[in-house]
Chain A
Amino acid sequence: MSKKPTAPRPGFVLEVDRQTPPILFHHGEGFRMEKLPIGRTRVIYAPEPLRGLEDPDSAIVDALKNPIEDDPLPSLLKPGMKLTIAFDDVSLPLPPMQRPDVRQRIIEAVLDMAAEAGVDDVHLIAALALHRRMTEAELRHALGDRIYESFAPDGQLYNHDAEDPDGMVILGETKHGESVQMNKRAAESDLVIYVNINIVSMDGGWKSTATGLSGYKGVSAHHNVHTMEQSKSFMDQKKSELHKSNWRQGEVIKEHGPRIFQIETTINTNTFGETGPMSVLQKREWEWSMKDRASFTAMNTGLKAMSSANRRKVFHSWKAPYDITSVQAGEVEAVHKKTTEMVYKQHLVPVEGQTDVMTMGLPYLTPYNVNSIMNPILVMVQGLGYFFNLYKGKPLVREGGVLIMSHPTPWEFHPVHHPSYIDFFEQVLADTTNPAEIEKKYEKQFAEDEWYRHLYRTSYAYHGVHPFYMWYWGSHAMKHLGQVIIVGGDPKAVRRLGFKPATTLQDALEMAEDVVGPQPTITHYHNPPILMADVT
């Protein structure tokens, strides 16, 4: 008899006044409570988590049997066929969700139908492109033990290997000359079923197959400085060159590739739950009860007393109680249209006008450090890549404005997951922070380095070129902004990124005035949960 009698409230923009309590800023594996200037500051609050589907398993079966602009899945499954099921990797969702993961639910439903149809040749591939391979524990978490134990022992469940010389094929070129590359097994299959989790509007659609199952050649067609600078933003499909490029690659897949049956899901933003010790993090500050304030104080005090490794362990063990808000299956573009509607419904907040200074608290997690360390490059990509780009229309901050981020930004790297990041940070950024220059001077060398290639294929390392993509991810913001300041970060690491360090938010705001003038307008991007500003 759990009850949710009130509808989730939409997001809104708060004008900070005398009565406004201190505002929560994420600060890596910790938090800051900041008093924001009165009369010229706005805080954008996300919509509350949408209600989840009451019976997700039935909704999944229904979506598979009644797909959008495609034949019902059971009619596509035949004995003797070659079936490949590809699924999103460990970078989604963030943080990882409580079991059962949506991929498990969907793939179990698909496999039930495949078993009924008598399909024997089934491969399951983690579509990780140039990300690190998923560990056994991560695969088990995403797919469940039943699937893992049925397919992994015979080598039918594995990580995509974009550097396997015999495992990749070129399907063709787009009219813009972009190569379309695909995992050979997938390309030669009679049917590829892609199982996606959509957390932001950039995910899904043709990006799933055109990027997820691709290699360096295919991915570099759009993961480059030019495309990223022209994607304003890459979260706004209509204004995203990244999106357009993936869609052009999709045309080639449609013509020369395997038949794709796309299954997309959306989840709500219930990241830290409605009850429990972390639930306070997604409440509005003036609604914190005494219990919330006490648990927040206890949590903060406890975290401060811990070593950074233990703090990381605590946060990375958190599994989000997301609810599935929609499931749609069928033709890629038609499915993605519905998915995008649902994502916008959850994330969009109308905001009037831009701001001189944008502030944000960065959490402990990006798509690229699940169970890992959030190194300085990932701090940059979270702020300038993801949060800055979570807009539709115009950027929240005006051109030449200042972005203030809060994060400890330690000079720390995960040596197994991010080996090329270490060299990128030590060598490349020591030379220049200009994305175009970096691309021209260093990308090829890192992308083709045999040692990085070896680590990507056999260990759990991100591809050698991956830190470059991260840097390009922030290129639109770097070009747009007058200055970036990191509050509470390691000054040396912050300076290496080309940003300015500040000890307190007050200092950062004073520094910002040197760039944008006195008494600037300020907008704070409040998270969690994530939101997308619809700026008019």
Chain B
Amino acid sequence: MSWLKFILDKPTIPEGVEPQEQQSTTGVYYDTEWSNGKAAKVVRLFSVWGFMKPAIGLYGSPKVIGADRLDEIDGPVVFASNHHSHADTTLLLATIPAHLRRDLAIAAGADYFFGNRITSLLSTLFLGAIPIERTRLSKLSIENTESALKAGRSLLIFPEGGRSNDGWNGEHQPGAAFVAKRMGVPIVPIYIDGTGTVLPKGSNWPTRAKCAVVFGEPITIADSENPRSIAKVVERRVAELANEFSVGWWEAKKQSYRDQTPSAKRPEAGAWRRRWALGPKPSEKRHSPSQRRWPKV
């Protein structure tokens, strides 16, 4: 059975040769092009309607604000949202208007979602995820996101680069702005509230709580703007949306013009003071529909 030995025995490497670094097929190198196909889209459709919508409805009974701001958009956009929990993706896949959700790619951490072939396959198939490196603006991450946009897919990015540890929003990295500018597509800011309670970081099982999604006006990017300044604008818009959720559209608008929008970024303080400053849990302070002070915009 010499042929079997030939197949099973790894060939030895000649002494003078430097072993080639094996090209990984997972992580940021994972090829997700197949997920643009019809079959994959059908699977994603089923996963949204068959699992995500019922699950988030059961655990988060989400309130959606500002979806009408996206009615006029038909081309690909970059969605930029704050990030508290793995439930964020489920929530957004369940609430982003159908015409933009049909072709939606989720920029997901290559190290986490694409760590091996199985997670890569599942993330791509069920979430429509594409791998990006969270810690740096790498060429491959940009290529991946641009390919998705070129294929006509909208892109969901969490520009904070990871889930919040404490409920505060983090600083926005310029990646989302960079890609949107290069591809000439608008950025839609999104504020998510409550998912940190439904499925906090470190937790494996959801608990029931109220959550909400606030969609902002699409931000069109001028050629003269640089990605860092755009990222700042998006970060401020997300904070305004958070404020809109708390105090209502009109009050938030006025505060915005007076430059008095409260920052959603974590204050420079010790861990307990940061948590303290958040006040009661979102589910506790959230207004029920009957108590709503401002009509849905």
A binds B: yes
A residues adjacent to B (C-beta < 8 A) = 1-3, 5-6, 9, 14-21, 285-288, 290, 293-294, 297, 301
- Whether the pair B11, A285 counts as a contact (CB closer than 8 A) is yes
- For A18, the chain B residues whose CB sits under 8 A away are 15
- Whether the pair A1, B11 counts as a contact (CB closer than 8 A) is no
**Which of the residues B6, B16, B32 comes within 8 Å of A1, measured between beta carbons?**
B32
- Whether the pair A1, B31 counts as a contact (CB closer than 8 A) is yes
- For A6, the chain B residues whose CB sits under 8 A away are 21, 23
- Whether the pair A2, B17 counts as a contact (CB closer than 8 A) is no
Chain B 115-148, CB-CB to A under 8 Å as 1, else 0, gives: 0000000000000001000000000100110011
Q: How many residues of B contact A (CB 8 A)?
A: 26
Per the bound structure, the CA–CA distance linking A219 and B36 in Å amounts to 54
- For B7, the chain A residues whose CB sits under 8 A away are 290, 293-294, 297
Per the bound structure, the CA–CA distance linking A14 and B18 in Å amounts to 11
- For B21, the chain A residues whose CB sits under 8 A away are 6
- For A301, the chain B residues whose CB sits under 8 A away are 3
Q: List 12 A-B contacts (CB under 8 A).
A: A1-B33, A2-B31, A5-B23, A5-B140, A9-B20, A16-B14, A286-B12, A287-B11, A288-B11, A290-B7, A293-B7, A294-B7
B residues adjacent to A (C-beta < 8 A) = 3, 6-8, 10-17, 19-21, 23, 29, 31-33, 130, 140, 143-144, 147-148
Per the bound structure, the CA–CA distance linking A301 and B23 in Å amounts to 29
- Whether the pair A2, B14 counts as a contact (CB closer than 8 A) is no
- Whether the pair A15, B16 counts as a contact (CB closer than 8 A) is yes
- For B33, the chain A residues whose CB sits under 8 A away are 1-2
CB distance from A301 to the nearest CB of B (A): 7
- Whether the pair B140, A3 counts as a contact (CB closer than 8 A) is yes
- Whether the pair B16, A286 counts as a contact (CB closer than 8 A) is no
- Whether the pair B13, A286 counts as a contact (CB closer than 8 A) is yes
Per the bound structure, the CA–CA distance linking A297 and B8 in Å amounts to 11
- Whether the pair A14, B14 counts as a contact (CB closer than 8 A) is yes
User: Sorted from nearest, which 6 A-B pairs have the closest CB atoms?
Assistant: A21-B11, A20-B14, A19-B12, A1-B147, A286-B13, A293-B7
- Whether the pair B12, A21 counts as a contact (CB closer than 8 A) is yes
- For B10, the chain A residues whose CB sits under 8 A away are 290
Closest to B36 in A: A1
- Whether the pair A297, B16 counts as a contact (CB closer than 8 A) is no
CB distance from A23 to the nearest CB of B (A): 10
Which of A9, A16, A285, A293 has the most C-beta atoms of chain B within 10 angstroms of its own C-beta? A293
CB distance from B182 to the nearest CB of A (A): 16
Per the bound structure, the CA–CA distance linking A178 and B23 in Å amounts to 55
**Which of the residues B6, B13, B31 comes within 8 Å of A297, measured between beta carbons?**
B6
- For A297, the chain B residues whose CB sits under 8 A away are 3, 6-7
Q: Report if A1-B3 is in contact (Cβ < 8 Å); known contacts: A17-B14, A19-B13, A21-B12.
A: no
Per the bound structure, the CA–CA distance linking A287 and B7 in Å amounts to 13
Per the bound structure, the CA–CA distance linking A18 and B29 in Å amounts to 35
- For A285, the chain B residues whose CB sits under 8 A away are 11
Per the bound structure, the CA–CA distance linking A2 and B147 in Å amounts to 10
Per the bound structure, the CA–CA distance linking A285 and B11 in Å amounts to 7
Per the bound structure, the CA–CA distance linking A9 and B7 in Å amounts to 26
- Whether the pair A14, B3 counts as a contact (CB closer than 8 A) is no
- Whether the pair B17, A14 counts as a contact (CB closer than 8 A) is yes
- Whether the pair B15, A17 counts as a contact (CB closer than 8 A) is yes
- For B147, the chain A residues whose CB sits under 8 A away are 1
Closest to B4 in A: A297
- For B130, the chain A residues whose CB sits under 8 A away are 1
- Whether the pair A3, B29 counts as a contact (CB closer than 8 A) is yes
Q: Report if A1-B143 is in contact (Cβ < 8 Å); known contacts: A294-B7, A297-B6, A301-B3.
A: yes
- For B19, the chain A residues whose CB sits under 8 A away are 286
Per the bound structure, the CA–CA distance linking A287 and B12 in Å amounts to 9
- Whether the pair B31, A3 counts as a contact (CB closer than 8 A) is yes
Q: What would 4 more interface pairs be, CB under 8 Å, given A6-B23, A286-B12?
A: A1-B31, A1-B32, A14-B17, A286-B11
Q: Report if A1-B144 is in contact (Cβ < 8 Å); known contacts: A297-B6, A297-B7.
A: yes
- For B15, the chain A residues whose CB sits under 8 A away are 17-19
- For A288, the chain B residues whose CB sits under 8 A away are 11
- Whether the pair A19, B14 counts as a contact (CB closer than 8 A) is yes
- For A19, the chain B residues whose CB sits under 8 A away are 12-15
Per the bound structure, the CA–CA distance linking A145 and B296 in Å amounts to 60
CB distance from A275 to the nearest CB of B (A): 11
Closest to B3 in A: A297
- For B23, the chain A residues whose CB sits under 8 A away are 5-6
Closest to A17 in B: B15
Per the bound structure, the CA–CA distance linking A93 and B147 in Å amounts to 32
Per the bound structure, the CA–CA distance linking A301 and B2 in Å amounts to 13
Which of B17, B21, B148 has the most C-beta atoms of chain A within 10 angstroms of its own C-beta? B17
**Which of the residues B3, B8, B17, B31 comes within 8 Å of A286, measured between beta carbons?**
B17
- Whether the pair A290, B143 counts as a contact (CB closer than 8 A) is no
- Whether the pair A14, B143 counts as a contact (CB closer than 8 A) is no
Per the bound structure, the CA–CA distance linking A315 and B10 in Å amounts to 28
